[in-house]
Each structure stands twice: as structure tokens, then as C-alpha cells.
């Protein structure tokens, strides 16, 4: 297992006129599980391919445990990879497929046999070991493919490119848990690319959010959810994402329309003027005292365990996540209270201040 | 207007693909929900006329379409893997089926229709581009636009959002609801995702192993499933299943704690958000388990616990909370949210009266 360090790495697919990945420098600790999360075209797969050696970066160096591997190909870097779709040998049984990466490295037969059994058990594919992968459903084939990626213990890192795309919804839950458990036990260095935030957030010690070729924020699931540093992170993390409303700061008072949401935090006093007020659907509630922001409810979605209430205000549309007890109907006029400590102020899409509980919702 | 499927069955090489499927779809969205291989795609292909069922009939607006060839049926199909003609512009991609339609449509009307659907799907500014210059989300919009432009009686959307980014899915799902809300066509929309079915809040059909298990409003299927497959198809995160013989914290079985509802052995079903760390009242059922892992998403924490006899449960807890793997703890099942299923047939023995 290895520490992975990128020094000023950037990549252009067209000889330098546009960059799919802008200069990035970072260090991932040995044994960490890192997720690269972002929409399609954000540069996450480019970054993964630079680490695996499938792609040589236009600029910058890649180090594994301090050793420069930039000019080494994938085989020489010795990393294990799992792709979005199954990559298997049809002429071999599942057992032989799983054993192949070990056999290639001249691992002792009994060690291989035991390791293959162990991995098959972890992935729940023990009963398919002696058949050929082509006879299996595509999601089972993908499990075998995952197994091939996980079977070797001596790799510097295991790289996953959207590995659960073809896995059934229900089984994803089980599998994600098993992968995390495996990581807790083995502490492999893992790099995991996905556009699915639940996968990224639950799996990784550290989530790297990318957008348009830039890293916009790196942190734990809680960091990204509770303290987004950028409007994109607010929007992209969370389901639904953060609401943004037009507001104003006036001598410390944070106003949305004529409603005072709170005061700016003393430590983050900001200049008077327009701001975007960001609040997650989870941190809005109905203010029965009628002091919050006046809104008209436009649609109520029952999500089973909770309700999503879509509302319109003069300052913009938004969504509140409320529990099932709240009896609300479309057309109703209510007041929404903002949880002040979870309300963030943005300028030029970057966070510029937070809100103090004092003087909230007046 | 309506589409009526009656007793459709299909067996191939001894394997049952569809078994006695009957339902009626009215104008607007009908959602088919079920796990992978439940028969959704096969059913859609039969509805489109791409494969023939062994028995049963399909009528559209009271006309039996069984004898009508595929190209003469008024039906459009959108696949999970969006398909566009790479050499044609977006405009021509949308217009192409209209140009071969009979009776012939004038050039001006084709132009009007393309612009109308392009506006609905917000791709007007992309009309002169080639598909290769579009993102996945934009390409799928083009494929959907093409299916709408024909103004077919029946539009079949087979997991149309499955290959798109998570965020894009949220957005497009809202838009599709808006677009199809007033549509004068039968839109059959399949998905493997329970939340998507709940979001659509439409007439919903749960499929499992080639059968229709239940048919109704999405929220009713969620709260009052006929059987275990329906409850599972409508639960994300997955429904917890526990044998009624598992011991509670004071060592009686869960079954005996629920005896007033139903005696004997049964399978307990409870959704992850209905299990809490703190007791909300004396009627909650306390149960002990060992922490396996905790998954934190920021908005919530999924806590995986091992119970006795290799039974496992997952709790969904608000906010981010840490737990020590291997430690023992007591959690509380909300008794008013517990389902009971027959362990042999899967039939619902009891269900909570209301959604909580």
C-alpha cells in the first residue's frame, strides 16, 4: 500500500488549448479510501487514469510512496483496477478468473486457493466459482470483476471506476457495506470514482469534489454536507441539494426580502450588499409563530419516510425536507424558519460568511 | 384513451419471462417498478410489439394491436442506453421518424413539432449540434424528444435515467413529470428505484419474477404492500427483515412482543428510519446488536448492526454520528411501523395503518 502524491498535475486532451484537468497538487495518505466525485465531464476519470498510468499527464508528476511513477505504465505501477463493466476471461471459470492476478505473480497454489475462497465469500459468489462468467447475470459478472481487483494484497492501490453501476439497487447496499468493512480490515489505499454521492460519502474517508476540471472541496461526508465552501458543493452534495436565495447583508443583518434570517457571525463580518443565502432542505422548518420567510407551497412529494415540500418565495424557489407529521398542501401560505447555524452566505459562488443564531427569524 | 394489457404470458426455453400480466394504463404516467430481471423490459418489448407474447392481448384505445406490425403501431420506445444517429444534427434526429410517418407530414409541421418538443426538453439551443458534442443528459433529452415528437399513443421509457448522473437524474425526473402531466398519451416508465417511483407519485405497478405483484398509487404500495416483494420494491434503503424468533433486549422473542397482532412465526419487516437509538415510548421494541459499520452521508448515518443468529439490520439516523465497530448496543423498533410477512408465501400478515 502506498501514499499517493500528485505534484502540479494537469491534463489536456487537445495539445493544450483546453484542459480537462487544471493543475492539482495533493497527497493521499497510505491506507485511505478516497472518492472522486463529480458530474460527467468534471475530470474525475481523467484523474483516475493519471494515477493508474493509463494516461500520462500533460504536466506534473505522480509519486507512489515518494517514488516518481509518472513515466511508468499501468503494469509497472502494479495497481489493481476495477472498471464500470465486467472485464473477465470467458474461457476460464470464475475461480480461475479470480486466481489469475495471483497466478501471474507466482503466488503459492494453496495461498491462491485460500485467497480466492475468501474473496468469493466476501462478495457472495462462492457458489458460482466453478462456472464460466458468461453464464452469469451481468451484475454477478461485475462482482467477479470486483473480486479480481481485490484479490491481490500486495498492490500499492486499488482503483475503482464506477464499479457499482450495473449492480442491483438492493444489493448495492450490502456490497457497499462489505467493501467498507474490507477496507477497515485491510486498509488498502483505495481510489474510487463515482457520480453517486451516497456511494462516495458512505465509502470514503476523504471525498474530493470535482467540477469543470478543478477540485472544489475535499473533506469528509460531514464536512461537505455541513460546511460547503462553494455553491457547487452545496448543490451537488445532498439530495435534493442546497437551496440558494437572493439576500442582502445590511449592517450585519442578513435579510431575505423583508425577513431577517439572522445576523452575520461576528468573526465573519462582511460588507453590506447582495449575497446568496444557502440553506439545506434539512435545516428548514415551519415557523408557526409566523416570523419566518413567507412562502407559498407549490407541491408536496411523499418520499415514504419524509416529505419534500416545494415552495415559492419572492426571492426564489426552494425545497424543505419535513417529517410526515407536517400536514401541508399545495396552495397553502406558511412561514419557513432557517436554522441559522446551518445558513451560509455566498459571494462569487464561494462561502463568505455564516449566520449567528442571535436575532434570527424576525 | 387507454392501454389494456390482458393476461400476457411469455415463456422461452422453459423459463418464465411474463406470467399472466394484466393492467390498464390511462393517459399520463404509469410506472413499472421492480428489481433487475423482474420482467419490466420484456413487458415493454411486448407492449411495443418487438416480441410476441405466447398468450394474452394488448388493446390501445379499444383496438387490439396484436395483428398490427411494429412499424404501423403508434408507439415510441426510449432505451436506457440513449440512441441517436451520430451523423445527424439534433434537429434531424428528432425529425427523422416524422419524415417517414404516414400519412405524410408537411415540412413546416415537422419544423413546428421539433421546435415544440425541443422547447419542452430545453434543447432548442442544441438543435444544430451533432450528438457527439452533447453530454449524456443532453443526449437522453434528444432521445426523449424524438419519442415525443411522433405524438404516439403509447410512449415506453425503459429506465431512461439509469445511465445518467445522480444529480441530472433528480433534475430530469422533475421535468419529465411536468412534461407528461398533461400529455395526451400513455407513458409507461420503468425504474428499479423505489424513490423514483415515489417521486413520480403516479399509477404504479410492482413487478417481480415476471408477475404483477400489486397495482395502485405509489404511496399506497409503499405503506400497504400486499406482500414482501412489493415492500422490498418500494424500500430504499432496503427493508430490514428479521425472524420473529430473534430475541428482544429483555430476551423474549420479537414475535411474543407482537403477539397481540399475530401469533406464530413470521418475518418482521421494518424500514431503516423506523429504528431509533432512543425509545420514543414504552411500546417500542428494544433489541440488542453489535455494531458492524456506520456509513455517514452527512445528512444521515446508516448504522449496520449484527443481531443474534446472523441476522442483520440497518438503522437510518439523522445527522452524522460515530460508533465503535464491535460494540454492543440497544436500539428500538417503532412498533407502529412494523410489518409482518408469512415466511413461506411472503404475504403481508399485518401492516402499520398509516405511513410514519
CA distances from B317 to B83, B274, B323 (A): 41, 9, 12
Confidence check: pLDDT of B186 > 50: yes
Distance from CA of B195 to the nearest CA of A (A): 7
pLDDT in tens, A253-305: 999 999 998 888 866 678 899 999 999 999 999 988 888 999 999 999 888 88
Q: Is B132 on the interface with A (CB under 8 A)?
A: no
Hey, which residues 266-285 in chain A have their CB within 8 Å of chain B? 280, 282
Q: What pLDDT is attached to residue A181?
A: 85
> CA nearest A220 in B: which residue?
B298
pLDDT in tens, A136-156: 988 889 999 999 999 998 898
pLDDT in tens, B117-173: 999 888 999 999 998 888 877 888 899 999 889 889 999 999 998 878 888 888 888
CB contact under 8 A, B198 and A197: no
CB contact under 8 A, B295 and A41: no
> CA nearest A236 in B: which residue?
B167
Domains and CATH numbers, chain B: 3-233 (3.40.50.300), 240-350 (2.40.50.140)
A103 band by pLDDT with thresholds 50, 70 and 90: very high
Q: What pLDDT is attached to residue B355?
A: 43
Distance from CA of B35 to the nearest CA of A (A): 7
**Beta carbons within 8 Å of B326's beta carbon, 6+ residues apart:** B290, B291
B261 band by pLDDT with thresholds 50, 70 and 90: low
Hey, which residues 185-244 in chain B have their CB within 8 Å of chain A? 192-195, 198-199, 201, 218-219, 222, 232, 234-238
Distance from CA of A251 to the nearest CA of B (A): 32
Residues of A in contact with B193 (CB under 8 A): 169
Contact by Cβ (8 Å): B287, A215? no
Q: Can you give the residue ranges of every domain in chain A?
A: 4-232, 242-356
> CA nearest B165 in A: which residue?
A195
pLDDT in tens, A315-339: 989 999 998 887 889 999 999 999 9
What angle, rounded to 10 degrees, do the helices at A109-123 and A138-150 form? 130
Question: Please, what is the average pLDDT of chain B?
Answer: 90
Q: What pLDDT is attached to residue B263?
A: 63
CA A164 distance to own-chain centroid: 14
Mean pLDDT of A210-230: 95
Using DSSP bridges, classify how beta strands B186-191 and B28-33 pair: parallel, antiparallel or unpaired: parallel
pLDDT in tens, B58-111: 999 999 998 888 888 899 999 887 788 999 999 999 999 899 887 899 999 999
Question: Please, what is the average pLDDT of chain A?
Answer: 91
Confidence check: pLDDT of A190 > 50: yes
Q: What pLDDT is attached to residue A359?
A: 54
Contact by Cβ (8 Å): A112, A176? no
Residues of B in contact with A238 (CB under 8 A): 298-299
- How does DSSP classify residue A149? H
CB contact under 8 A, B37 and A201: no
- A4-232: in CATH 3.40.50.460: no
CB contact under 8 A, B316 and A305: yes
* Candidates 3.40.50.460, 2.40.50.140, 2.40.160.40, 1.20.1070.10; CATH matching A242-356: 2.40.50.140
pLDDT in tens, A34-72: 999 998 889 999 999 999 999 999 999 999 999 999 999
Residues of B in contact with A177 (CB under 8 A): 292-293, 295, 304
Q: What pLDDT is attached to residue B100?
A: 87
> How far apart, in Å, do the first and last CA atoms of chain A sit?
55
CB contact under 8 A, A137 and B37: yes
Q: Where are the alpha helices (DSSP H) in chain B?
A: 40-48, 90-99, 107-120, 136-149, 166-181, 194-200, 218-223, 228-233, 254-257
Residue in A226, A241, A304 closest to B222 by CB: A304
Residues of A in contact with B273 (CB under 8 A): 305-306
Instruction: Tell me which of B7 and A153 has the higher pLDDT.
Output: B7
> Which neighbouring-strand residues pair with B347?
B227
Q: Is A237 on the interface with B (CB under 8 A)?
A: yes
CB contact under 8 A, A304 and B198: yes
Per-residue b or e along B218-254, where b marks 16 or more CB atoms closer than 10 Å to that residue's CB? bbebbbbbbbbbbbbbbbbbbbbbbbbebbbeeeeeb
> CA nearest B162 in A: which residue?
A165
B230 band by pLDDT with thresholds 50, 70 and 90: very high
Amino acid at each position: 500500500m502506498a501514499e499517493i502524491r500528485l505534484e502540479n498535475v494537469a491534463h489536456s486532451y487537445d495539445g493544450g488549448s483546453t484542459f480537462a484537468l487544471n493543475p492539482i497538487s495533493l497527497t493521499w495518505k497510505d491506507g485511505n479510501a478516497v472518492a472522486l466525485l463529480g458530474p460527467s465531464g468534471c475530470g474525475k476519470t481523467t484523474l483516475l487514469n493519471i494515477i493508474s498510468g493509463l494516461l500520462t499527464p500533460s504536466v506534473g508528476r505522480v509519486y507512489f510512496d515518494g517514488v516518481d511513477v509518472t513515466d511508468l505504465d499501468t503494469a509497472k505501477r502494479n495497481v489493481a483496477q476495477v472498471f464500470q463493466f465486467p472485464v473477465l476471461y470467458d474461457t476460464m471459470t470464475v475461480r480461475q478468473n479470480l486466481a489469475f492476478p495471483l497466478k501471474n505473480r507466482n503466488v503459492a497454489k494453496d495461498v491462491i486457493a485460500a485467497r480466492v475462497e475468501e474473496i468469493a465469500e466476501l462478495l457472495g459468489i462462492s457458489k458460482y466459482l466453478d462456472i464460466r462468467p458468461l453464464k452469469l447475470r451481468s451484475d454477478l459478472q461485475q462482482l467477479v470483476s470486483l473480486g479480481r481487483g481485490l484479490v491481490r494484497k500486495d498492490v500499492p492501490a486499488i482503483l475503482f471506476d464506477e464499479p457499482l453501476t450495473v449492480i442491483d439497487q438492493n444489493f448495492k447496499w450490502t456490497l457497499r457495506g462489505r467493501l467498507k468493512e474490507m477496507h477497515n480490515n485491510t486498509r488498502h489505499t483505495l481510489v474510487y470514482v463515482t457520480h453517486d454521492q451516497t456511494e462516495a460519502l458512505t465509502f470514503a474517508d476523504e471525498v474530493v469534489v470535482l467540477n469543470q476540471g478543478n477540485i472544489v472541496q475535499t473533506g469528509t461526508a460531514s464536512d461537505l454536507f455541513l460546511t460547503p465552501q462553494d455553491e457547487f458543493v452545496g448543490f451537488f452534495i445532498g439530495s435534493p441539494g442546497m437551496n440558494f436565495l437572493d439576500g442582502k447583508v445590511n449592517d450585519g443583518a442578513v435579510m431575505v426580502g423583508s425577513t431577517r434570517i439572522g445576523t452575520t457571525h461576528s468573526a465573519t463580518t462582511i460588507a453590506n450588499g447582495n449575497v446568496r443565502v444557502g440553506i439545506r432542505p434539512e435545516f428548514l422548518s415551519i415557523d408557526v409563530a409566523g416570523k419566518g420567510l413567507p412562502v407559498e407551497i407549490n407541491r408536496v412529494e411523499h418520499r415514504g419516510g419524509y416529505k419534500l415540500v416545494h415552495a415559492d418565495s419572492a426571492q426564489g424557489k426552494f425545497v424543505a425536507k419535513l417529517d410526515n407529521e407536517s400536514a401541508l398542501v399545495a396552495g397553502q401560505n406558511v412561514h419557513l424558519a432557517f436554522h441559522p447555524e446551518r445558513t451560509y452566505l455566498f459571494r462569487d459562488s464561494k462561502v463568505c460568511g455564516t449566520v449567528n443564531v442571535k436575532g434570527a427569524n424576525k | 384513451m387507454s392501454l389494456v394489457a390482458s393476461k400476457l404470458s411469455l415463456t422461452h426455453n422453459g423459463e418464465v419471462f411474463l406470467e399472466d400480466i394484466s393492467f390498464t394504463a390511462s393517459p399520463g404516467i404509469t410506472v413499472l417498478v421492480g428489481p433487475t430481471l423482474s420482467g419490466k423490459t420484456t413487458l415493454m418489448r411486448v407492449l411495443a410489439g418487438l416480441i410476441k407474447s405466447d398468450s394474452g392481448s394488448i388493446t390501445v384505445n379499444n383496438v387490439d394491436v396484436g395483428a398490427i406490425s411494429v412499424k404501423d403501431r403508434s408507439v415510441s420506445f426510449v432505451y436506457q442506453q440513449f440512441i441517436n444517429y451520430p451523423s445527424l444534427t439534433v434537429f434531424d434526429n428528432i425529425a427523422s421518424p416524422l419524415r417517414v410517418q404516414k400519412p405524410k407530414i408537411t415540412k413546416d409541421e415537422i419544423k413546428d413539432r421539433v421546435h415544440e418538443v425541443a422547447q419542452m426538453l430545453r434543447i432548442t439551443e442544441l438543435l444544430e449540434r451533432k450528438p457527439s458534442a452533447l453530454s449524456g443528459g443532453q443526449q437522453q433529452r434528444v432521445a426523449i424528444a424524438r419519442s415525443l415528437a411522433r405524438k404516439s399513443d403509447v410512449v415506453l421509457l425503459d429506465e431512461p435515467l439509469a445511465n445518467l448522473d445522480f444529480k441530472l437524474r433528480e433534475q430530469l425526473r422533475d421535468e419529465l413529470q411536468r412534461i407528461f402531466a398533461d400529455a395526451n398519451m400513455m407513458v409507461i416508465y420503468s425504474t428499479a428505484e423505489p424513490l423514483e417511483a415515489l417521486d413520480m407519485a403516479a399509477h404504479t405497478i410492482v413487478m417481480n419474477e415476471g408477475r404483477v405483484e400489486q397495482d395502485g398509487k405509489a404511496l399506497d404500495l409503499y405503506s400497504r404492500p400486499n406482500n414482501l416483494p412489493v415492500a422490498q420494491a418500494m424500500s430504499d434503503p432496503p427493508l430490514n427483515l428479521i425472524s420473529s424468533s430473534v430475541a428482544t433486549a429483555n430476551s423474549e422473542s420479537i414475535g411474543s412482543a407482537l403477539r397481540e397482532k399475530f401469533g406464530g412465526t413470521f418475518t418482521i419487516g421494518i424500514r431503516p428510519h423506523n429504528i431509533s437509538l432512543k425509545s420514543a415510548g414504552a411500546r417500542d421494541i428494544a433489541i440488542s446488536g453489535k455494531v458492524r459499520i456506520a456509513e455517514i452521508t452527512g445528512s444521515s448515518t446508516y448504522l449496520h448492526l449484527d443481531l443474534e443468529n446472523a441476522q442483520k439490520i440497518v438503522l437510518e439516523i439523522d445527522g452524522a454520528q460515530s460508533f465503535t465497530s464491535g460494540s454492543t448496543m440497544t436500539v428500538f423498533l417503532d412498533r407502529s411501523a412494523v410489518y409482518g410477512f408469512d415466511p413461506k408465501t411472503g404475504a403481508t400478515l399485518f401492516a402499520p395503518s398509516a405511513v410514519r
